[in-house]
Amino acid sequence: MLKLGVNIDHVATLRQARYRGMDDGEPDPVAAAIAAEEAGAHGITAHLREDRRHILDRDVFRLREAIRTRLNFEMAVVPEIIDIALRLRPDICCLVPEKRTEVTTEGGLDVAGACDAVRDATRRLQDAGIEVSLFVDPDLAQLDAAARTGAQFVELHTGAYAEAWHSKRERNLQIERLAAAARHAKGLGIRVNAGHGLNLQNLPLLHLVPHLVELNIGHSIVSRAVFVGLQPAIREFLAAMQGYPG
């Protein structure tokens, strides 16, 4: 069964638009996480950025205590955040690139160009009993580098596929690229997740990509929730994921 991880960063973004610098505020991302679990989500994703633009330290520690499924902690490969992850003990850490100027993550982690640092971070996290995923573009060289780090998972960056949606030729090329990457990762013994830019329109075609374990989706769920509510939105995405052949 294909699993759904709900990214609650965008709930925190909405809170910070009004309550930045305050000790409380709405909407509460932890309450959103609990509601997501009740709607059938298989896990919760939160990205603690270095600049704390949305998710805050207090959020992730409250999440660790509150949720009953699986906490996926997205993070940059920097000492401060690694130390927080080791105290937090999430179920899995997804190592991602991070730029202060970007609105959201713009591309995959350059594992090949920073293999030693990524491998060292991976080992520290795994020694603490935390699984590790690497957010990478569907590039075979990056997947080969990911295998050298010892990470158990990769999360394939689906942004290029999402952006190509309105060109049938280009979106089919991107699907083929994702499928080839998933098969290559499987052959390397790495489990495969995917995410970024996925919505109810482009998600069904992703069923052509084999070996997927989990999709991590945030913005489109929160956007859809504006019109139908958070839990109905999550159920719509779960319905769109039904029938995935694996």
pTM: 0.95
The answer to whether residue 157 is catalytic is no
**pLDDT for position 158:** 98
- Please choose, from the candidates 221, 218, 228, the residue with its C-alpha nearest in 3D space to the C-alpha of residue 195: 218
Note the pLDDT tens digit of each residue in 205-217: 999 999 999 999 9
Does the pLDDT at position 107 exceed 90? no
- Of 10, 47, 54, 157, catalytic: 47
Domain boundaries, the chain: 3-241
Catalytic residue (choose from 74, 155, 214, 236): 74
Residue-level pLDDT at 98 = 79
pLDDT value for 68: 97
Which pLDDT belongs to residue 222?
A: 98
Q: What pLDDT score does 215 carry? A: 98
Distance from C-alpha of 18 to C-alpha of 30, rounded to nearest angstrom: 17
In the set 10, 42, 54, 196, the catalytic residue is 196
Looking at domain 3-241, its CATH class is alpha beta
Query: Is residue 81 predicted with pLDDT exceeding 80?
Result: yes
Residue 102: pLDDT above 50? no
Does pLDDT of 49 surpass 70? yes
Query: Which tens digit of pLDDT belongs to each residue from 50-80?
Result: 999 999 999 999 999 999 999 999 999 999 9
DSSP conformational letter for 88: H
Answer whether 177's CB lies under 8 Å from 191's CB: no
Catalytic-residue membership of 236:
no
Give me the mean pLDDT over the 160-166 stretch: 97
Q: Is the confidence at residue 128, as pLDDT, over 90?
A: yes
pLDDT band at 23 (very low <50, low <70, confident <90, very high): confident
Cα dihedral 176, 181, 187, 189, rounded to 10, equals: -140
Q: Is 184 an annotated catalytic residue?
A: no
169-185 residue pLDDT tens: 999 999 999 999 999 99
Query: Helix, strand, coil % (nearest 5) of the chain?
Result: 50, 15, 35
pLDDT of residue 99: 60
